Chain A
């Protein structure tokens, strides 16, 4: 089996449902981060059949609030000196700005670059539902609307 060593300092995002790793990678815009990153996909897991893992070395200031959009069962471990010093809970974000598009084609946020779409969470059961702060239409976040 593929071996990936632990990291000394940084963040380990674990228990990502297999297939969601790349989505998270994109969501966190990790391709722009200048530090060692490992994305492991489809490894065996005790709780999930298969899971993905992301390890980010020497980096702590990521916008982890967005993670819940993809998967709220993820665990986030903050590591210092080879030890887990903090575990963060992932929740579905109550407010989201600029992460996905409004599903209403007539919404101003889809035609004007000046503003980013921003949303308020109105239903977190199942697929999260967000109310657009501009047009007040509902967008169901399905994980594929990323990046304006």
Chain B
């Protein structure tokens, strides 16, 4: 079997590979015409064993903008794994029908299994609560576009930091780049998992502080990364009532933030960012989802190029 490169988790990419994907993504953003037929004649299989409209369409759009074609499914019940076929068999066969495969699967580790049997590059579009590397690339290219670089920032993460896989991957990856430090804002019960904190400190010497409310740190942030926080995640009503307002972003809340701070969110949001914030020039979450298409275009072309 050919040795092809896959993207299963952010750690599959070196820092310089990440940087070149970001700059390629920026180049595509600036000059989309130059890339409109670089994937002509190529087929991307988009295998969504679990629905995720946003991620699926972001990938499909990326491939189509590159002049390629897309086949696949967006619901496991239409795939033969629902008849009991092993995932390995599905992937093996799909890798004969396509040049690159992007997959989302509810089981953690499924893309890794896929990468072991596939003849073509596998891109992990999310596996359970485990990894979502293209969201991380999306976040990084957004920071690059709006802040100029992905180093030397103070990044605040706010919300449910315990269950948020987008947060976990992004912190780990940003820790690999120089000078970044983190302020973690969450209720005590929803702090970053101990294992991850241990890993960050031990492996990267990451600097972070943990607080419970946004107000005390707002003026220090270069980037504010909001995530969903649900009422049912709280351990008691009292804590919820006490903290609820401190996690909902309003104009008032960001009044003392830096003028060049950016507000990010992996979307979809529920109520953690009020609509009045959308007009603030610091809000970049919609641009963030747009940048996701460009970085995915960069990723697809790069993996296809390397698989030749």
Contacts and interface: CB of A to CB of B under 8 A. Distances in A.
Interface stretch (B106-114, B137-145, B225-233, B260-268): B106-114
B42 interface: no
A112 B108 contact: no
Given A107-B109, A132-B109, A112 B128 contact: no
Interface secondary structure of A, over-half rule: loop
Contacts of A92: none
B86 A106 contact: no
A106 B195 contact: no
Given A134-B113, A135-B130, A138-B195, A111 B107 contact: yes
Contacts of A136: 108-109, 130
Nearest to B87: A112
A114 B109 contact: no
Interface string A105-130: 01111011111000000000000000
A115 B110 CA distance: 10
A117 to B, nearest CB: 9
A115 B87 CA distance: 10
Contacts of A104: 108
B107 A108 contact: yes
B129 interface: yes
A112 B116 CA distance: 14
Interface in B112-149: 112-113, 116, 127-130
Contacts of A108: 87, 105, 107-110, 112-113, 127
7 contacts: A107-B109, A108-B87, A108-B107, A108-B108, A108-B109, A112-B110, A132-B109
Interface of B: 86-89, 105-110, 112-113, 116, 127-130, 195
Given A108-B109, A112-B87, A138-B195, 14 more contacts: A106-B128, A107-B109, A108-B113, A108-B127, A111-B107, A112-B88, A112-B107, A114-B88, A114-B89, A115-B116, A133-B112, A134-B108, A136-B108, A136-B130
